[in-house]
Amino acid sequence: MLNNFYDSDFTWSNAKETADVALYRSTGKYLSDIEIKLLQGSWEDKTYDDMAIIYGYSAEYLNKDVGNKLWHKLSEALEEKVTKRNFKAALRREWEKQRDSSAMEENLELQVSPSVAQLPFPESSVPPDSHFYVERNNVENLCCETIIKPGSLIRIKAPKLMGKTSLMNRIIPYAVAKNYRTVYLDLSSVQRKILTNLDQFLRWFCCMAGRQLKLENQLNDYWDGEILGSNDNCTVYFEEYLLTQIDSPVVLELDNVDKIFSYTEVTEDFFGMLRSWHEKGKISAIWKKLRLLLAHSTEVYVPLDINQSPFNAGVPVELVEFDKQQVKKLVFIHRLNWDEIQVEQLMELVGGHPFLIRLAMYEVSLRNLTLKQLLQEASTEAGIYSNHLRGYLEALQKCPKLAQAFKVVVNSPEQVELDSIQIYKLHSMGLVQRRDNHVVPRCNLYREYFQRVLV
């Protein structure tokens, strides 16, 4: 009898969309990736033990940490008690309320997506409360679970325009909600003359951290240039002043740390110091208060001792491209009436690259062009990606050997083997995907454009 109730007109797709809309209306957030997995597993009548085997999580985590929270959120969103046993019936009732398509469309326009006039141009990081922030596959949960651990270290790595800064910005409100203090420093903004002198760089580092913690500059009182080295002075300043003055944990976020990799005057000592702080956090009460979050675009080609590098410690987080489900969520947010084929056509061109995907949806949403026209013009000078592609071309033209290596990659139907430095540089630029010691173009857009211009 129960099976007859859930007849074919109410599908898993209907259930997920209904839950997404209801949760957004209630909380301002969509289902996370792990919640979608749990909801689908429950839809298929799988137990928590079954899902644990399939998804690689513990059954206790799926039950108590994910399941209980999800059923509670759905209970509030649907205004009735929702459990793993009855969620299908609850979602069906909500779906039936929304079944009138015109009413559904009006509801989405008013409550879910911003108007076309409000669409932000996708040129920088996404604010943490933005409609356009798309959660990764449990990455946010991992970062938030790690950052509350004493003395923790997180390393976020991805090519440029993949969402590293957006993820860091997402973690800051979570830390603030925990009454933590936060410091965000973008190392790409440091002046070159500061980066050629370790003492000056570490004084800048301490000064900027103190300013964000709203503490008075006391560098002259703690900096002993006659006896202590620069690293020791910086460590003393944090240990005896900054961390002592703050009662709560401090999250220190360092963005674009790869921008200083080439400054050998500071890199070895600075990164060695960060590693020592992380190690101190395992035993020292004062250093347990500090949580480190590093983001970088490239592999770490810096001559660091394996025991002195922060890049082989802590929790690594590597951002990958959006999958089809995440791209479809952006289609939904942009109010685009695309079917499965259109989503696949765009991803065939640019993969799941966050910036390239969002730029396409921005242009089509503003009705500047159709998707068909966008795809036809994409790799030409008339296309929406022309400035983006030209920037890469100018960078490659400054490095003829690298340009020649990439020319081989885009003209080969097979994956290409390059030396490690060439792979490192092309991957950090975001032009290739790595497959062991081989590479392929990151997407067909890059293949088509650079086949034409690298002559």
96 and 237 share one domain = no
pLDDT at 113 over 70: no
435 and 286 share one domain = no
66 and 199 share one domain = no
- CATH number of the domain bearing residue 175: 3.40.50.300
- At residue 437, the pLDDT reads 80
Range of the structural domain that residue 284 is part of = 139-318
- At residue 301, the pLDDT reads 53
72 and 164 share one domain = no
What's the rounded Cα separation, in Å, for the pair 74 and 87? 8
Number of domains in the chain: 3
As a whole-number percent, the residues of the chain with pLDDT over 90 amount to 56
> pLDDT band at 289, cuts 50/70/90?
very high
pLDDT at 105 over 60: no
In this structure, of 109-118, 362-371, 421-430, the range with the lowest mean pLDDT score is: 109-118
In this structure, of 32-46, 109-123, 159-173, 308-322, the range with the lowest mean pLDDT score is: 109-123
pLDDT digits (tens, 9 = 90+) for 134-179: 888 788 889 999 999 999 999 998 888 899 999 999 899 889 989 9
- CATH number of the domain bearing residue 424: 1.10.10
pLDDT at 299 over 60: no
Higher pLDDT, 87 or 121: 87
- At residue 303, the pLDDT reads 55
pLDDT digits (tens, 9 = 90+) for 422-450: 888 888 888 999 887 899 999 999 999 99
> pLDDT band at 411, cuts 50/70/90?
very high
Q: What is the mean pLDDT of residues 293-309?
A: 68
- Is 82 a member of any domain? yes
What's the rounded Cα separation, in Å, for the pair 409 and 438? 10
Find which of 99-108, 194-203, 421-430 is predicted with most confidence, using mean pLDDT. Answer: 194-203
Q: What is the mean pLDDT of residues 309-325?
A: 86
pLDDT digits (tens, 9 = 90+) for 377-405: 999 999 999 999 999 999 899 989 999 99
- At residue 106, the pLDDT reads 42
pTM of the model: 0.71
Higher pLDDT, 34 or 184: 184
- Is 352 a member of any domain? no
- At residue 111, the pLDDT reads 46
105 and 156 share one domain = no
pLDDT at 262 over 70: yes
- At residue 128, the pLDDT reads 79
77 and 156 share one domain = no
95 and 11 share one domain = yes
> pLDDT band at 311, cuts 50/70/90?
confident
24 and 147 share one domain = no
pLDDT at 222 over 50: yes
Higher pLDDT, 2 or 142: 142
282 and 153 share one domain = yes
- At residue 2, the pLDDT reads 33
151 and 249 share one domain = yes
Q: What is the mean pLDDT of residues 61-69?
A: 91
Boundary (domain end) residue, out of 318, 353, 369: 318
197 and 309 share one domain = yes
- Is 334 a member of any domain? no
- At residue 305, the pLDDT reads 60
- Is 339 a member of any domain? no
As a whole-number percent, the residues of the chain with pLDDT over 70 amount to 91
Q: What is the mean pLDDT of residues 254-269?
A: 89
